[in-house]
Chain A
Amino acid sequence: MGAYRADDDYDYLFKVVLIGDSGVGKSNLLSRFSRNEFSLESKSTIGVEFATRSIHVEDKVVKAQIWDTAGQERYRAITSAYYRGAVGALLVYDVTRHVTFENVERWLKELRDHTDSNIVIMLVGNKADLRHLRAVSTEDAKAFAEKESTFFMETSALESMNVENAFTEVLTQIYRVVSKKALEAGDDPAALPKGQTINVGSKDDVSAVKKVGCCSS
């Protein structure tokens, strides 16, 4: 438990959302990453839950605030609040249920409609341990991810396979995007990129750089 406890001393705070159809294993991915726990008897998620965990990326401490929501269509009313300030997303489907993969397109559209264009997206095929029940091939998912320019990984929250990798990869990529922006801004504050940006340091934004001089000066 101690090893996973979120430390209040961090350099970056990134909001990451978990999305995907009901029952694909979003909550167990989150509990595996944040507490190294998995439950076969877990209940359906009501509304929104979230958990945090800090990891090291290069020499920085990155605190991930991961939001998990109910997959049911009914809860889509909370969408805009759910996505606000998110800089990363894990779009989860269940490799044993093809329909959850078919719905990935809808989720992706909703995600892109509500978030910054720089958001880091990873397509996650969960329940990869259920080899005999597989209904979505790795190739199909990989091809889809390439077409949509998202990252891709197959995971098993039950076997703890690739869960750490998936989250770490997303957080590292966000770190790269954000630190590159900070660097650009540091070089020439007047040359801030136009249009949509990740609002680093913005007050109403959940994700923020805590100790980067460029934004406060």
Chain B
Amino acid sequence: MWRNYGASADSFYQVRPECADDVPETKFRIKVGKTLSSRRWHAAFTPEGYLDIGKILSRVCRGVRESIHQLEVKFGSSYWVVMIQRAHLRNESNYDNVGGILLSLLSKVHYAALKEECRVMFPLIGSGRFISAPVITEDGDPILDPIVLQELNAAKEPTSVGQVGPSDGFELVKEHDKKVIQWKLSLHQIGLDVIRTDRTLVFYEKQENLSKLWDILAVYAWFDKEVSYCQGMSDLCSPMIILLDDEADAFWCFERMMKRLVHNFTRTACV
């Protein structure tokens, strides 16, 4: 996992050169014997490709408390749980565990279905674009903000990343479903925070990564209507999409983490 012993953990996330002065360097350094190395990690797998969780957990418990703490600070408390579970799932699906494969497929299908539901409600979902201006009033009337219209029109152009069809026009009709209104009200707030999340990282110089973060948070807001979106969630979701290439994986890891942190984000908790 770690390439450079003695290097700062920050070296794994490329910071934009012009922001180098603004980013404080972490005190956490990768130490031989104290940090879980890629060699140790790979050695924990059986020849059949199964992860010996006991072996790795005892290693984790014995010597790397500090590392975990530091990783938790950076990535949230579910980091190891998620990584280990993912490794386990991957092993199972690589070999003969049909259940594992199905589970993995199901999670992807489930995410795709959720995302499609959202795209039908608001065609910018999955289009590679996103908005940071309100699209709806609390009464359900659509808002014709020039910034929103510009993004919507751009998304419809054939050169755009997404597949917004001609039937998916942004219809300017009053929305009556309270759940849909609530969800649409969250979209611009997510956009406003996406453009302010980890902006010192090279990763977010790519528009596609910004819209990926927006997509996942928007889908989550629909998936968990009680929590919806609350400021702070973008910072927690960000490491997931940096670490995991697959958007569905990133979503479910974020969802799992939110299960443990949800009490921080309910409507009565922000007091």
In the complex, the answer to whether B230 meets A72 with C-beta atoms within 8 Å is yes
The contact string, 1 if C-beta is below 8 Å from chain A, for chain B 202-231, is: 000000000000000000000000000011
Separation of A97 and B133 alpha carbons in the complex (Å): 8
Q: Does residue B145 face the partner (Cβ distance < 8 Å to A)?
A: yes
B2-10, B44-52, B162-170, B188-196 - interface stretch: B188-196
Closest to A23 in B: B192
In the complex, the answer to whether B200 meets A44 with C-beta atoms within 8 Å is no
Q: Does residue B232 face the partner (Cβ distance < 8 Å to A)?
A: yes
Q: Does residue B22 face the partner (Cβ distance < 8 Å to A)?
A: yes
The contact string, 1 if C-beta is below 8 Å from chain B, for chain A 37-71, is: 00111111111000000000000000000000010
Closest to A70 in B: B231
Other-chain residue from B19, B189, B196, B200 in contact with A72 (beta carbon distance below 8 A): B189
Separation of A42 and B193 alpha carbons in the complex (Å): 10
Separation of A44 and B271 alpha carbons in the complex (Å): 17
Interface size on B, residues (CB 8 A): 24
In the complex, the answer to whether A41 meets B133 with C-beta atoms within 8 Å is no
Closest to B134 in A: A99
**Residues in B neighbouring A22, C-beta threshold 8 A:** 189, 192-193, 231
Within the complex, the shortest CB–CB distance from B234 to chain A, in Å, comes to 7
Residues of B bordering A, CB below 8 Å? 19, 22, 132-134, 143, 145, 147, 189, 192-193, 196-197, 199-200, 230-232, 234-235, 267-268, 270-271
Other A-B contacts than A44-B193, A45-B231, 9 sampled, CB-CB below 8 A, are: A22-B192, A39-B22, A41-B19, A41-B199, A44-B197, A44-B232, A77-B268, A81-B271, A99-B133
**Residues in A neighbouring B267, C-beta threshold 8 A:** 74, 77
In the complex, the answer to whether A74 meets B231 with C-beta atoms within 8 Å is yes
Other-chain residue from B145, B232, B270 in contact with A99 (beta carbon distance below 8 A): B145
Within the complex, the shortest CB–CB distance from A53 to chain B, in Å, comes to 21
**Residues in B neighbouring A46, C-beta threshold 8 A:** 231-232
**Residues in B neighbouring A45, C-beta threshold 8 A:** 231
In the complex, the answer to whether A41 meets B22 with C-beta atoms within 8 Å is yes
In the complex, the answer to whether A43 meets B197 with C-beta atoms within 8 Å is yes
Closest to B185 in A: A73
Other-chain residue from A43, A74, A78, A81 in contact with B196 (beta carbon distance below 8 A): A43
**Residues in A neighbouring B270, C-beta threshold 8 A:** 47, 70, 74-75, 77-78
Closest to A72 in B: B231
Within the complex, the shortest CB–CB distance from A77 to chain B, in Å, comes to 5
Separation of A43 and B147 alpha carbons in the complex (Å): 22
**Residues in B neighbouring A47, C-beta threshold 8 A:** 270
Within the complex, the shortest CB–CB distance from B18 to chain A, in Å, comes to 9
**Residues in A neighbouring B143, C-beta threshold 8 A:** 99
A39-B22, A75-B231, A99-B145 as given contacts; A44 in contact with B268, CB under 8 Å: no
